[in-house]
Every structure is written in C-alpha cells, then in structure tokens.
Structure 1
Amino acid sequence: MFLQIQFESEIPIYQQIKNQVIRGIAIGELQLGEDLPSVRQLASDIGINFHTVNKVYNQLKQEGWVVIHRKSGVMINPDLNVGKTQEYIESLDDLLKITTAEAFLRGLSKEEFIALIDKNYDSYNSKGGK
C-alpha cells in the first residue's frame, strides 16, 4: 500500500490515511482479504506516531472496512458489506452541505458541480473495487 501524506495539509494525517485506504478499496488497489502493514510498520514507514495509525485502523474496523486479528494483523475485510446506513446517509448529507456551499461560493455552477460528482463516481465503476 502506497500512501501519499501531505504533512502541511489542513486535513489531519489520520483522515488522509483513512481516506486513502477507502479509496484504495474502491479503485481495486486494495483487495478484499489483503493484509495491511502493522500499526508500528506503517507508522515507521510514514514517520508518524503509532497511535495515529492505531486510531485509523480502529475507525476503519468500526466502520467495517477492515478486520483486526491479534495474531495475523489488519486486513481489508474479506466479507466487506458496509452498506448504506441511515447514519452514513446523514453524515454524507452533512459533508455535502459544506462542500456544496463552498462550491457555490467559489462560483461553480450546479452543472459543473454535478459533472465533478459524476466524473468521480464513474471512475470507481470503471476500476473494479467492490
């Protein structure tokens, strides 16, 4: 797994890692059942505190993206079925409210905004993933 962390970004490191793991699954870069680096190994590779990686792995586990076994480590959930829960839909709606507001204030038309969503969504359909 190759991660690109932007240490100067406003997005917290743990969120960058989490986002890249989820995107990696969606584009088929990470396969179901694939092992991820250990907490200490990933922290060492990136040069961050292992508590940060532990936080990411625990969040990914809670959301169903990974499974954690004491002996074999962390792997992409081989039975991935996270589904669209009401909680997720509400969270997505909140995120879209902010994203849409910013796009509106920056002058993107509704058509431009929807075209970006379509482009990104369609990119996952063409790459495999789940």
Structure 2
Amino acid sequence: MILSLDMDSEVPIYQQIRDRIVEAIASGQLVEGSSLPSTRQLAVDLGINFHTVNKAYDLLRREGLLRVNRKSGALVQRDTRSGPPEPGFTAEWETRLRTLLAEAVAHGTGDPAVLDSCRSVLVSFTSPAPASPSANPGAEQGDSAS
C-alpha cells in the first residue's frame, strides 16, 4: 500500500493519513489483522512529526478501525468483512454525508451528477483488490492526494 499525502493541501496531514488508511481498508488493501508501522516509523518514512501520525492513529482507534497496543503495535480492527457497523456509526456517517451533499448542491451539482459520483466512488471501493495483511502504508510518499 502506498500512502500518498499532499503537503501543500489545506487538509491537515493527520487527516490525510487517516483518510488514506480508511480508503485502504474500504478497498481491501488492508484487512482485519493487517499491521501498520509504529507511529514513529511512519513519521520517519513520511518525514513528519510522530505526534501527527499518533493523532491519525488515535482518530482511527476512536472510530473502531484500529487497535493499538505496545506489544502488537497498530493493527486494523475492522474491515469490509467485519459485519454491521458499530452502533451510532450510521447516524454519524449520514451527518457527514449530508454536509458533503450540501456542498455539492451549493456548488450547483444536480441530482444525477451527485448520484453518478457517489456510485463511481462506491464502485472504486467495492471492486476486487488484493489484500495484504502485512501492508506498509509508509512505504512511499506521493506529492498529491489520492
């Protein structure tokens, strides 16, 4: 797995790290039990402060997607095969989706275009992708967000 960040983006680096890992889980690149680099190692790989990676991992932990402990490090806790989402997830997700859809409508994007975009993005995550339990999200850093 390649973790691609845009250092010039207005999106904070920790959020980009979190988003790329969520995308890797959604696409099947990371599965339940996949190990991630330590916060320090990923920070070194990306050339950033380890507190930034720690903040991203903490977000993922609070979202129930990552389990972090001193012995086993950071492991993916859920994936697309883990069953129904945790209680409360759907309501939170719908709130975030509502804001994204409102942005699209506010910018003049109509119903068919929004639905087409949603389908396209969903298909990109549900198409078969190779799973790698030992994926290394810090293996490479790109210049632009993916």
Query: Same fold judged by TM-score > 0.5?
Result: yes
Contact 1:15 1:56 in 2 (8 A): yes
The alpha-carbon deviation at position 128 of structure 1 amounts to: 5.4
Partner of 2:25: 25
Higher relative contact order (CA 8 A, sep 6+): 2
Contact 2:29 2:129 in 1 (8 A): no
The alpha-carbon deviation at position 71 of structure 1 amounts to: 1.5
Normalized per residue, the structure richer in helix is: 1
CA distance in 1, matches of 2:54, 2:6: 19
Structure 2 stretches lacking a partner, 5+ long:
132-146
Partner of 1:6: 6
Partner of 2:135: none
TM (normalized to structure 1)? 0.85
Instruction: Report 1:101-112 matches (<5 A).
Output: 101-112=102-113
Partner of 1:51: 51
- Using the TM superposition, name which of 62-71 and 90-99 deviates more: 90-99
TM (normalized to structure 2)? 0.77
Instruction: Report 1:71-82 matches (<5 A).
Output: 71-77=71-77, 81=82
- Using the TM superposition, name which of 69-78 and 81-90 deviates more: 81-90
The alpha-carbon deviation at position 101 of structure 1 amounts to: 2.2
CA distance in 1, matches of 2:2, 2:106: 34
Instruction: Calculate percent identity across the aligned residue pairs.
Output: 37
The alpha-carbon deviation at position 38 of structure 1 amounts to: 0.7
- Using the TM superposition, name which of 18-27 and 93-102 deviates more: 93-102
The alpha-carbon deviation at position 81 of structure 1 amounts to: 3.8
